[in-house]
Amino acid sequence: MTQRLHLVFGGELKDPSKNEFKNADDIHLVGMFPDYASAYAAWKSEAQRTVDDAHMRYFIAHIHRLRDEETEASPTEELG
């Protein structure tokens, strides 16, 4: 089975309507996860923890897509 690594990270944005961090040195690296479900759980926990701060945003990066950029994956494929 193919390993599908996911990185969860976040931090304060310059503008909540955009995806540019205020200070890249302050990005919070939550961790690397072996599957989408565990990455999603970590993302959800951090997003809920910072829900009252509109400038804080967390993301899931699909690291396996960086290794094979030619292969597209649908959101439902991530859970399988």
What is the Cα–Cα distance from 49 to 46, expressed in whole angstroms? Answer: 5
The pLDDT score that the predictor gives to residue 20 is: 92
- Over residues 22-56, the pLDDT tens digits come to 999 999 999 999 999 999 999 999 999 999 999 99
pTM of the model: 0.76
C-beta separation of 43 from 4 below 8 A = no
C-alpha dist (Å) from residue 13 to 35, 46, 58: 26, 15, 10
The domain limits of the chain are 6-79
Strand (E) positions, 1-80? 6-12, 28-33, 56-62
Residue 70 has pLDDT above 80, yes or no: no
pLDDT for 63 equals 87
Q: Rounded to whole angstroms, how far apart are CA atoms 11 and 22?
A: 8
Write down the architecture of domain 6-79 according to CATH.
2-Layer Sandwich (3.30)
